[in-house]
Amino acid sequence: MLRRILQPLWVLLALIFLIEAWLWDHLEPVVARVVAWIPLRAFKLWLAEQVDALSPAMTLIVFIVPVLPLFPLKLVGLWLLANEYWLSAIVVLVFAKFFGLGVTAFVFDVTRPKLLQLPWFEKLYSRVIALREKARAIVEPIKLRIREAMGGEGDGWLSRLLRSIRQFRKRVQAAR
C-alpha cells in the first residue's frame, strides 16, 4: 500500500533528477562553445595546469568555490518572488540555474580526474550515475505511454480522446 502511495513521489523525483541531468548534458556543450567563443580556452588550460598541481582535497575546493557566488543571486530571486515580481524572479532564478549548471559543468570537466581520486567522491559519483540510470528506468515506461497516447496508439482513455479529436477535426475540415 505504501509503495503505491509513494510511487508518484518517486516518479516526480526521478523526473527532477533527469531534468537536472539533461540540463547538465546540454549545458556542457553550450559552455564549451562559449569557451571557444570567448578566450576562455586559455583559462581552461591554465586552470587544468593549476588543478594538476593540487591535491585531490584542494581540487574539491576549486570545484565548490565557483558555485558559492550564485547563492546570493538565488536569494535575490526568492526575494523577488516574495515581493511578487514574478517575471523578474523567474528570469533571475532561471539565469542562476543555467549559469550555475554551466559553470559547474565547466569546472567539473577540469577537476573530474582529480576528484575521482578521492575514494568517497568516486563512490558518490558512481552512485549518482547509477541513480541516473535508475531514474531513466522509472520514467521510460511513462514516456512510452505518453508517446503512444499522443500518437493515438494504445487503449487508454487519453489515446481514445485524442483519436476522437482527430476524427472530429477531419469531419470539420471535410465539411468546409
Per-residue pLDDT, averaged over 28-45, amounts to 69
Enumerate the domain spans of the chain.
2-175
Per-residue pLDDT, averaged over 7-30, amounts to 70
Give the whole-angstrom CA distance, residue 119 versus residue 107: 20
Contact, 23 vs 99, CB < 8 A?
A: no
From residue 57, alpha-carbon distances to 48, 116, 147 in Å are 15, 11, 46
Which amino acid belongs to residue 103? Answer: V
What is the per-residue pLDDT for 79?
Answer: 92
Q: Write out the three cell numbers for 35.
A: 569557451
Per-residue pLDDT, averaged over 8-16, amounts to 70
| 57-116 tens-digit pLDDT | 888 888 888 778 888 888 898 899 899 888 999 899 888 877 787 777 778 888 888 888
Give the whole-angstrom CA distance, residue 53 versus residue 114: 10
Give the whole-angstrom CA distance, residue 40 versus residue 64: 19
What's the full length of the chain, in residues? Answer: 176
DSSP string over 19-45: HHHHHHHHHHHHHHHHHHHTTTHHHHH
